[in-house]
Chain A
Amino acid sequence: MYRLAGHASSPFGALIGELTLERLPFYRRKDMILYTDTPDRGCMGYLAVITAAEPEDRFHLPHMLGNVSPEAASKLKQGDILSVSGTGEAAVLWDQGSRQNSLLLTEACNCRCLMCPQPPRRHDPALPAAALRVLDLLKGKRVESICITGGEPALPKEDFIGILRRCAGEHPNAEVNVLTNAKPFSDASFAGEAALAAPKKAVFCASLHSDLPQVHDAVVGKPGSYDLTNEGVYNLAVRRVPLEIRHVIVRRNHDRLLEFARHLYRYFPFCAHYAFMSMETCGLAAENLDEIYVEPNDYRDGLRAAVLAMSKRGLPVSVYNTPLCLCHEDIRPFARRSISAWKNVYLEQCGRCAAKASCCGFFSTSVKLSGQIEPLAAA
């Protein structure tokens, strides 16, 4: 999430609105956040104002976030949805025009994955409220894709179902991805509710980190998770919910990629898509780095075998977050540019690489990058 800092005019509570770079007639200002160089009297009626100038606390003017660096502010676009708060922070909740927007429903989770980039926190009801507010602001707009995420987004059950319903009703053509560990859907009646509420094109992306219960459970840090995730996935599948399996490669599971692929074909052949993912080493992953990190050289053969095994069985498979130079040549066509633009970086040597334009690059957030990055020659 793109954030920018400044000074608040007063300690006001978080406000969520749509950004405008142009001044609007008074009657259209209520839900809008104005970005302006000159926070004058003409700012009346906006939800909030962001400015590079000194913030002013005047009773007839909206709440203001001032002293924002012009360079940081230059990334803001007309139509972005922002949250601005009295703590002096603004965050882009919806990046207008991007295909990688998400609604964060909670930071609480019923797993504690060793490689989780966002450590779980106590549930904050403000998050689903903010998500609902974003949906209010998106009403009637063209939305291509929505990612529903957490934590485990299905933990606040009612909010989750409500948001699915709203997505289905208000953005029937959007691609909706739900990033879940699928455990909440082990409750068959809840799985049924979700299946009914979900937009037709919604894909539930379930994380499954091993074909072996004990390995999966060790990776996600909670015993019994494997069975619940399996049951959740099956419960969704029998209700014809489109599914994707996401498999993050860590030290604990990197030596069974081919067997895992085979297991997927045997016992999860009904999914719409399968993804092998390299880690983003931040959050818990950074803390547990010694325990989870595995050099790409140690799994590139296994990854190749797994991807080719799935491909020749006719399963749609992708490789996420893995730079092309770390993939064997014959599986490069399966590698996607999967890292969100705002946290996507390349290394110095990537400048000389012929494949840079089609490469996912790296997470700017990662604390450890592979030492095996080498520019590729033109084909």
Chain B
Amino acid sequence: MTRLLPFQHKRFPGGRRLLVNECGDHHFVAEAVFELMLAGALSEDHPEFPDLQSRLFVSAELNDGFGVRKAAAKYRSRKAYLRDFTSLHMMVVTVRCNQRCEYCQVSCAEQDAYRYDMPVSTAMKIVDLILEAPSDSVKIEFQGGEPTLNWEAVAAAVRYAEERREKAGKKTVDFVLCTNLTAIREDQLRFCRDHGISVSTSLDGPKDLHDRYRVLRSKGSAYDLFRGNLALAREIVGEDRVDALMTATAASLNAFPEIIDEYEELGFGGVFIRSLNPYGFAAEKAAELGYGMASFVAAYAEAFRHVMKVNRRRFFPELFATILLSRILTPFSTGFVDLQSPAGTGISGAIYDYDGSVYPSDEARMLARMGDAHFRLGNVHVDSYREIFGGARLKDLIRGACVETTPGCAYCAYQAYCGTDPVRNYLESGGEVRNMAGTPFCVKHKGIFDFLFSFLDGMTEEEEDVVWSWITRSGRVQAAGGRPGGGIGGRGGAGPGRPGPEACPPPGDGVAGGV
């Protein structure tokens, strides 16, 4: 009799059944074949047997010795981000902002509210803490508010980290400046160039869309200012050192193709179609800006098809798809904080507020600003690294944050590729763990996975080439990180990068996705 190895499954239209095994390998079979498997009646002579065996869904009776170890090694590789503790560190150097974007009101303060600036001494304390993280490569993202408004803290943190890097035993410390570019000065850009800081900015689409919700406190067009400074930033910092992220409001849902074209026209190397973070803005704005995740998924599918068309002409990845496809198609760990199990909060990324408070994610920080410090891990002025990252708060948070044990996720076919976010759960339901079925998080990810798997099941050779070009070259064009004020809580790199002999770890080791 054939032996089955553990897998999850899902019915697809057209009599297809998607199978996903424990270590993230997938395969489509006809419903009839699935029924044979269920009944324990799939024989070794069945024409589907070899492919199922090759992908570790079944094993022949005589040979099931090493399959389990192989699956385990791959499982270990895919969880390698856990050992890269903690690689993405976001510093909120000020909450002040020269813009007042509609979807970001909770996260920004008046331009002259100087008490929301991070003191230089706090910035240096934070750097000390970051350099204590075991990960040998760390990335520090400067966020806000608008971080260029408190340049003193940025410059001090960069200089101090550079000075301490070697002694702290870090191979690399990367810096990212998350800026709206509308308040940046030339000397700041030169500083970025001289210190290898990459720039991550925000672009919502063509002028009308961009200006619709991205508002300058000083009036005038944020878009025009952005365009001028984008050119300057590229000239000074370097063409490939400036990335942009978009935030989709209800107004952009039917304009994804135009937004994508705008990104291409402005010379960006790709686009990240990103849904709105529902927690950053005031409730009365929700009706205007927000949307149901089902409509986002439908719009996303259209965006994906449009990007595919662009890719017939040139290399132009959509970065959210690149992350998800990397998870589906590669055997590596991908360092995307938002979608990990156990959750990436605290493990892969942490955020430091202007006053030195430490949170596992940006949502946790916002929650604290709204008066609920449930997720506060500590403060760099009074707590040690061990107390903050080794304390009961983070352990409790992570212990429950696994899709494998979450109701509604435990049997989901996409479990191997998805993740969970206890902070979001708490925000939406008051509990860190809850049944995910029907939540916006689930509707969005399940919907996009459904779409991508249908795409994969029927893609042409040409489309497959495009997908692999995204996955293997994404290291070069990945957007740098979270965005100023109420973003997605930061992210690591999109894909595993190009696997070469050095990049490819032994079984069970895994690549951290270029965080």
Contacts and interface: CB of A to CB of B under 8 A. Distances in A.
On whether A and B touch (CB less than 8 Å), the answer reads yes
Interface in A242-273: 242, 256, 259-260, 262-263, 265-267, 269-273
Nearest to A315: B499
Nearest to A215: B50
Contacts of A269: 330-332, 499, 504
Contacts of A267: 56, 70, 73-74, 331, 507
Contacts of B498: 314
Contacts of B69: 230-231, 234
A223 interface: yes
A156 interface: no
A223 B60 CA distance: 13
Interface in A209-229: 211-214, 217, 223, 226-227
Contacts of B55: 263, 266
Contacts of A313: 330, 468, 471-472, 499
Nearest to B498: A314
Given A212-B53, A237-B507, A242 B501 contact: yes
A238 interface: yes
**Chain A, interface size: which category?**
20 to 34
Contact of B506 (A212, A231, A240, A315): A240
A316 interface: yes
A239 B332 CA distance: 19
Interface in B65-80: 65-66, 69-70, 73-74
B331 A266 contact: yes
Instruction: Classify the interface of chain B: helix, strand, loop or mixed.
Output: loop
A314 B50 contact: no
Instruction: Name, among A238, A266, A271, A273, the residue most crowded by chain B CB atoms within 10 Å (CB to CB).
Output: A266
Nearest to B468: A312
Interface string A108-123: 0000000000000000
B238 interface: no
Contact of A266 (B25, B472, B505, B508): B25
Interface string B87-113: 000000000000000000000000000
B287 interface: no
B73 A312 contact: no
Given A230-B70, A266-B25, A269-B499, A213 B63 contact: yes
B54 A213 contact: no
A170 to B, nearest CB: 25
B54 A223 contact: no
B2 interface: no
Contact of B60 (A213, A238, A259, A270): A213
Interface in A134-185: none
B70 A273 contact: no
Interface in B7-53: 25, 50-51, 53
Contacts of B318: none
A212 B499 contact: no
Q: Which 6 A-B pairs have the closest CB atoms?
A: A213-B63, A237-B506, A272-B501, A312-B468, A227-B65, A227-B66
Interface of B: 25, 50-51, 53-56, 59-60, 62-63, 65-66, 69-70, 73-74, 330-332, 464-465, 468-469, 471-472, 498-501, 504-509
14 contacts: A212-B53, A213-B62, A214-B60, A227-B65, A230-B70, A238-B506, A260-B54, A267-B507, A270-B504, A270-B505, A270-B509, A312-B465, A313-B468, A313-B471
Interface of A: 211-214, 217, 223, 226-227, 230-231, 234, 237-240, 242, 256, 259-260, 262-263, 265-267, 269-273, 312-316
Given A217-B63, A238-B509, A267-B70, 19 more contacts: A212-B53, A213-B62, A226-B63, A226-B66, A231-B66, A237-B507, A242-B501, A259-B50, A262-B54, A266-B331, A267-B73, A267-B331, A267-B507, A270-B504, A272-B501, A312-B469, A312-B472, A313-B330, A313-B471
